[in-house]
Amino acid sequence: MSRYRVSVHIVPRKGILDPQGKAVADALHTLGFVDVQDARIGRHVVLDVAAATPDAAGDSVRKMCDKLLANPVTEDYEIARVEGLP
């Protein structure tokens, strides 16, 4: 077994009001960043897992997202990165 560091992005699904994202977008507009069209605020989760391969580590974290880390009703997730650990 090797060790992998898996990063997951979990964000509110498009179409569901994200008041934090809206507040941040409004603040950015106020600061002059008028090119900001949308902001969504989510979670970045970093997990160190033991697995045989990088793919297996990603699959394992996908199962964790389906069961606990993301809410399937309101959130989408993506595995952002899988890196080998020494």
Partner 1 sequence: MKFGVITFPGSNCDYDAFRTVVDVLGEHAVYLWHKEHDLQNADVVILPGGFSYGDYLRAGAIARFSPIMQEVAAHARRGGPVLAVCNGFQIACEAGLLPGALLRNASLSFLGQPVHIRVENPDTMFTNRYALGQVLTMPIAHGEGRFAADDETLDRLEGEGRVAFRYVDARGGLDDASNPNGSMRAIAGIVSAEGNVLGLMPHPERAVESLLGSHDGLGIFQSMLARVSA
Q: Which residues bind partner 1 (CB under 8 A)?
A: 12, 16-17, 19-20, 23, 68-69, 71, 73-74
Least distance to partner 1 from the beta carbon of 72, Å?
Answer: 9
Q: Evaluate the CA torsion angle 11, 15, 16, 22 in order and state its sign.
A: positive
Least distance to partner 1 from the beta carbon of 20, Å?
Answer: 7
Least distance to partner 1 from the beta carbon of 74, Å?
Answer: 5
**Strands (DSSP E) along the chain, which ranges?**
2-12, 43-51, 75-85
Burial of 17 (0-12, 13-18, 19+ CB in 10 A): exposed
Q: Which residue, 20 or 53, has its beta carbon nearer to partner 1? A: 20
